[in-house]
Amino acid sequence: MSSILLEIKESVGFITLNRPEKFNAFNREMALLLQDKLDECASKNEVRCIYLTGTGKAFCAGQDLGEVTGENPATFDKILLEHYNPIIKRIRSIPKPVVCAVNGVAAGAGANIAICCDIVVANETASFVQAFSKIGLIPDCGGTYFLPRLIGLQKATALMMLGDKVSAEEAERIGMIYKYFPAEKFSEESTSIAKTLAMMPTQAFALTKQALNESMQSNLEQQLNLEDKLQYKAANTSDYREGVSAFLEKRIPVFKGE
Ligand code: LHQ
């Protein structure tokens, strides 16, 4: 069985981390396969939303520590440059929404891959751990970029230094994730978000994502100019024309992602 599964249905690319016996921890093969599957979803027009989750009890325990041998910094550098950084860059640049459905514990790289996704939801049984400090590493996978922006510098610093386990409920409360769901509703509710997004104006989402990405380092003037430029592009999509027509005709719009 492959360590990464991809199933495309109802315009959603369902990607599943699939090494349950290792809490879906990443080895090299799995990290490279995830990059491939993200690329496949990016390139296929039929995929209008990506849904990322894990098999079994955990979402992802980060790097498979059994695979990290020796303490040669060059090896570590390679892991980030070849495994994780390309995953984070893909998730942020894919012009489609990426929903992360955190089914269980998300630790280390697993936690930070989750929080870089566009919409993060969790099972009530899930938890988030910045596990890096416990093994003498620093948070990676863009965690030092996204976490302080999501929950503030103070809390991010404490979680990263102390390595506390954050429950799904607390993660929602502090703004680390969008929502958590009771276990019995998690699958239905989380897939429903992805299926809903897949029926919405995909081009506008791509432009929204671009604007949000750039907002991380722009000032207001730059952001207003960017919104002007991107809104012009959105207004030239057929989904915009359909959205306005449907509103005026008092009917439900049929968006094609074009
Ligand atoms: C694991 C792992 C794991 C292998 C659980 N590997 N087996 C970047 C740069 C370069 C190199 C290093 O990495 C990175 C990025 C990173 O991600 S660094 C951070 C790596 N991850 C961690 O340090 C997390 C380690 N795991 C844990 O802290 C706990 O296992 C968590 C909090 C994930 C879950 O705790 P529990 O629910 O209490 O489960 P457990 O500890 O009993 O683990 C269950 C099994 O999964 C167990 O195997 P076993 O055969 O004994 O049942 C663990 O050994 C295995 N496992 N994480 N990362």
- Per-residue pLDDT of 146-168, as tens digits, reads 999 999 999 999 999 999 999 99
CA 206–ligand 1 middle distance (angstroms): 34
Instruction: Give residue-wise pLDDT tens across range 111-143.
Output: 999 999 999 999 999 999 999 999 999 999 999
Nearest protein CA to atom 12 of ligand 1, as residue: 63
At residue 2, the 3 state secondary structure works out as coil
Look at ligand 1, atom 48, and give the residue with the nearest C-alpha. 22
Distance 172 CA to ligand 1 centre (A): 23
Round to whole Å and give the CA distance between 218 and 30. Answer: 35
Mutate to test the pocket of ligand 1, among 65, 78, 137 (most ligand atoms within 8 A of CB): 65
Q: Which amino acid residue places its CA nearest to atom 53 of ligand 1?
A: 22
Mean pLDDT of 213-229: 97
Q: With 0.85 as the threshold, say if the pTM is over it.
A: yes
Q: Is 137 a pocket residue for ligand 1 (Cβ < 6 Å)?
A: yes
How high is the pLDDT of residue 68?
82
Indicate whether 229 pLDDT > 80: yes
pLDDT of residue 22: 97
Ligand 1 center to residue 161 CA distance, Å?
Answer: 17
| Lowest-pLDDT range of 2-6, 67-71, 86-90, 230-234 | 67-71
Number of Cβ atoms within 10 Å of the Cβ of 28: 13
Confidence band (pLDDT; 50, 70, 90) for 26?
Answer: very high
CATH architecture of 202-248: Orthogonal Bundle (1.10)
Cα(221) to centroid of ligand 1, in Å? 44
Instruction: Give the model's pLDDT for residue 96.
Output: 98
Q: Is 87 in the pocket of ligand 1 (CB under 6 A)?
A: no
Q: What mean pLDDT do residues 81-91 have?
A: 97
**Nearest alpha carbon, ligand 1 atom 51:** 22
Taking the C-alpha atoms of residue 15 and residue 143, their distance in angstroms, rounded to an integer, is 21
CA of 144 to the centre of ligand 1 (A): 20
Kindly indicate the confidence band of residue 175, based on its pLDDT and cuts at 50, 70 and 90: very high
Distance 50 CA to ligand 1 centre (A): 26
Task: Give, using CA atoms, the residue closest to atom 26 of ligand 1.
Answer: 61
Q: Is 24 touching ligand 1 by the criterion CB < 6 Å?
A: no
Q: Domain 4-198 sits in which CATH superfamily?
A: 2-enoyl-CoA Hydratase; Chain A, domain 1 (3.90.226.10)
Q: What dihedral angle (degrees, nearest 10) is formed by the CA atoms of 206, 99, 217, 173? A: 140
Report whether residue 129 contacts ligand 1, using a CB cutoff of 6 Å. Answer: yes
Closest CA to 139 of 157, 121, 154: 157
- Three state DSSP letters for 7-35: EEECCEEEEEECCHHHCCCECHHHHHHHH
Q: In 10 A of CB 204, how many CB atoms?
A: 20
Find the DSSP H helices in the chain: 28-43, 73-78, 85-93, 109-115, 143-151, 153-162, 168-173, 183-198, 202-215, 220-235, 238-248
d(CA 131, CA 146): 16
Specify the residue for token string 């002007």: 228
Q: Where are the domains of the chain?
A: 4-198, 202-248
Nearest protein Cα to ligand 1, atom 37: 105
Pocket mutation for ligand 1, best pick of 63, 78, 105 (most atoms within 8 Å of C-beta)? 63
For 37-66, write each residue's pLDDT tens digit.
Answer: 999 999 999 999 999 999 999 999 999 998
